[in-house]
């Protein structure tokens, strides 16, 4: 019979606060991130469109220099200042636009490189808007700086996706705190999947790491002015890592390597196979020993993490799950113990924890 578990009031209130504050954070973060995404995407679209629709002619460079801008804290940024003149029909126009939209690198080397590309008196191609010849640019097409800004936004997008997935899990947790652990629960069989990271969490973390490391690498390698192909490589690797990590983690979880199977007909429990062993450990329900306790080698929020140990009555540990909060360790252990009709042994807790253990134990009832 399927059971629905319920949170104690204190944990329910905590979950509700996480939903409210988390929802407000995700909303504000999403507006900010999606706003920048839209800006960068629109800039990229305009740059690509001008390459396809604007007409090429020639211009004479009339001014070319590096401009220094000093910030409020004394920092310096460098920008190229280019002026040019061109003729369309019988009308001579002047322009100062180097590229359409996007930021031009503020590094001294990039600015000097642009000035060298457009020396005073040289004849260079210029691209003109046929609908309004006064609009022109020396460079059209997708620019490295625009693609770089899209690459920089990737970690922020990963945080947005991960935060939204976290809210979904909190909402599911508030309804049934065992929902993320119980993968099957019917009359004859129950399955607990003791995998702590969801595929989405693994995918978001992979995207953050690849994009951050990739950005730092290309910035150092190209001295702050990476070419188009380098930024494209970072974006491709980050998105590819996101997708690959999601499906690899999903396949790993679905393989059953972290599943605890309860055969309610035979009254037997099968534990995940340990490293180096061929077969899974299988016990009768009444042979199972369940214990939990603090893990002094691991810390969560400045508090010792807890671990769950499943073994036989001879106190042989056949499976250990680490990196649990105290509440999760007790909740999972309580669920397993009730399923098998055994008790939970708590190792290493202090007197204060013993006093409030009853208040924190989960409750359950049949699900209609």
Per residue in 1-42, pLDDT tens? 445 566 677 777 877 887 888 889 999 999 999 999 999 999
Interval 55-67: pLDDT, tens: 999 999 999 999 8
179-188, 219-228, 239-248, range with the lowest pLDDT = 219-228
Interval 319-337: pLDDT, tens: 888 888 888 899 999 999 9
Tokens of 361: 């134990």
Which pLDDT belongs to residue 105? Answer: 61
Residue 197 in 3-state DSSP? coil
* Strand bridging mode 282-284 / 76-88: unpaired
Classify domain 266-366 by CATH number.
Answer: 2.30.29
Question: Under a CB-based contact definition with an 8 Å cutoff, are residues 60 and 114 in contact?
Answer: no
Which pLDDT belongs to residue 7? Answer: 65
Q: What angle do CA 141, 142, 148 make, to 5 degrees?
A: 160
Taking alpha carbons only, the member of 17, 30, 323, 28 closest to residue 171 is: 17
- Mean pLDDT computed over every residue of the chain: 86
Is the model's pLDDT at 178 over the cut of 50? yes
What string of DSSP letters covers 84-134? EEEEETTEEEEE--SBSSSPPP-SHHHHHHHHHHS-TT-EEEEEEETTEEE
Which pLDDT belongs to residue 349? Answer: 61
Is the model's pLDDT at 310 over the cut of 90? yes
Domain ranges of the chain: 9-37+148-175+195-254, 55-139, 266-366
Which pLDDT belongs to residue 363? Answer: 42
Give the distance, in angstroms, between the CA of residue 134 and the centroid of all CA atoms in the same chain: 44
Whose structure tokens read 């006093």? 355
pLDDT band at 266 (very low <50, low <70, confident <90, very high): very high
pLDDT band at 49 (very low <50, low <70, confident <90, very high): very high
Interval 119-134: pLDDT, tens: 999 999 999 999 999 9
Tokens of 338: 């009730």
Tokens of 297: 């080698």
Is the model's pLDDT at 278 over the cut of 60? yes
pLDDT band at 212 (very low <50, low <70, confident <90, very high): very high
Is the model's pLDDT at 358 over the cut of 50? no
What separation in angstroms does the CA of 44 have from each of 50, 132, 341? 10, 21, 63
What residues contact 337, with CB distance under 8 A and at least 6 apart?
290, 343, 344
Q: Whole-angstrom Cα distance, residue 44 to residue 41?
A: 5
Q: Which DSSP helix (H) or strand (E) runs through 196?
A: none
pLDDT band at 352 (very low <50, low <70, confident <90, very high): very low
Residue 84 pairs in a beta bridge with 61, 95
Interval 214-231: pLDDT, tens: 999 998 888 777 888 999
Q: Where are the alpha helices (DSSP H) in the chain?
A: 9-53, 108-117, 144-152, 154-175, 199-221, 228-254, 326-340, 351-355, 357-360
Helix 199-221 × helix 228-254 angle, to 10°: 160
């Amino acid at each position: 019979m399927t059971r629905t578990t319920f949170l104690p009031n204190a944990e329910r209130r905590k979950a509700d606060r996480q939903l409210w504050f988390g929802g407000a954070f995700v909303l504000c973060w999403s507006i900010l991130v999606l706003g920048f995404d839209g800006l960068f995407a629109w800039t990229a679209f305009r740059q690509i469109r001008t390459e396809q629709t604007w007409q090429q002619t020639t211009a004479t460079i009339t001014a070319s220099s590096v401009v220094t801008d000093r910030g409020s804290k004394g920092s310096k940024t460098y920008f190229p200042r280019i002026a040019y003149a061109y003729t369309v029909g019988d009308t001579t126009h002047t322009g100062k636009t180097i590229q359409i939209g996007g930021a031009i690198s503020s590094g001294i080397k990039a600015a000097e490189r642009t000035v060298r590309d457009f020396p005073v008196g040289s004849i260079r191609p210029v691209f003109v808007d046929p609908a309004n010849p006064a609009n022109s640019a020396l460079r059209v097409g997708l620019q490295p700086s625009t693609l770089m800004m899209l690459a920089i936004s990737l970690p922020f997008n990963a945080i947005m996706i991960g935060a939204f997935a976290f809210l979904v899990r909190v909402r599911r947790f508030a309804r049934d705190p065992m929902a993320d652990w119980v993968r099957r629960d019917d009359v004859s069989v129950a399955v607990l999947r003791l995998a702590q990271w969801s595929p989405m969490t693994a995918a978001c973390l992979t995207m953050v790491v690849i994009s951050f490391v990739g950005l730092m690498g290309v910035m150092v390698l190209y001295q702050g002015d990476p070419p188009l192909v380098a930024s494209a490589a970072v974006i491709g690797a980050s998105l590819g890592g996101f997708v690959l990590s999601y499906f690899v983690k999903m396949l790993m979880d679905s393989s059953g390597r972290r599943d605890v199977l309860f055969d309610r007909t035979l009254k037997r429990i099968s534990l995940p196979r340990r490293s180096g062993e061929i077969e899974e450990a299988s016990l009768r329900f009444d042979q199972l020993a369940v214990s939990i306790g603090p893990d002094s080698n691991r810390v969560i929020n400045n508090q010792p993490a807890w671990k769950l140990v499943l073994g036989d009555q001879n106190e042989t540990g056949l499976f250990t799950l680490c990196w649990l909060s105290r509440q999760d360790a007790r909740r999972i252990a309580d669920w397993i113990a009730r399923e098998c009709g055994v008790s939970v042994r708590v190792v290493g807790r202090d007197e204060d924890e013993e006093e409030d253990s009853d208040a924190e134990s989960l409750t359950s009832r049949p699900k209609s």
